[in-house]
Chain A
Amino acid sequence: DIQMTQSPSTLSASVGDRVTITCRASQSIGSWLAWYQLKPGKAPKVLIYKASTLESGVPSRFSGSGSGTEFTLTISSLHPDDFASYYCQHYNNYWPFGQGTKVEIK
């Protein structure tokens, strides 16, 4: 089974900071990777798919990169609305998630 390892588990940052979250796959997954944002009481939302394609309507401060086994989600300048949890997920060989990253206010 493919395992997804995400880091860090918690990230403390300030509005305006550049934030990077890393996701590693236990074997090569090509570009079959999505990133999701979770907020309490709300439906999870896809931000990025195919590792680097920005979902329609998602602000351009979000970007994704990587292929094979190493991937990153970057928020170029943190907005107040971005304090949330983020998850990576592989979606071509079952659907494993990373452990999640909570972005909290510093």
Chain B
Amino acid sequence: EVQLVESGGGLVQPGGSLRLSCAASGFTFSLYNMHWVRQAPGKGLEWVSYISNSDTVYYADSVKGRFTISRDDAKNSLYLQMNSLRAEDTAVYYCARSIGWLDPWGQGTLVTVSS
């Protein structure tokens, strides 16, 4: 079964850092491009970042310069390093496999930025 499981969310103070992880199983992770998508409380989905299977990366303007996406194909894992966190970064963060469209998605991990 193709599965993605996020971890690493939690409460962090404004200006702090957090690293999210996404563990992949059930498919050959190294062959696929991957995404991070977030949903703030009461808001819609927002695409955050993309990494190709050859490490080409893209970011939404809202996180550019603060977030870094990476992957470790040997560990079948995707990461999102989040620095200089702001209150508006509070959201559930999802990882998703890219097959053009996004499928599947993980269940998400909650990041709360608050003092």
Residue ranges of A at the interface with B (Cβ–Cβ < 8 Å):
32, 34, 36, 38, 41-46, 49-50, 55, 87, 89, 91-92, 94-100
Contacts and interface: CB of A to CB of B under 8 A. Distances in A.
A87 B101 contact: no
Contacts of A95: 35, 47, 50, 102
Interface in B41-66: 44-47, 50, 58
Contacts of A49: 100-101, 103
Contacts of B16: none
Contacts, number: 60
B8 interface: no
Given A36-B102, A43-B108, 9 more contacts: A36-B45, A38-B39, A38-B45, A45-B104, A46-B103, A49-B101, A87-B44, A94-B58, A95-B102
B83 interface: no
Nearest to B4: A43
Interface of B: 4, 35, 37, 39, 44-47, 50, 58, 94, 96, 98, 100-108
Nearest to A96: B47
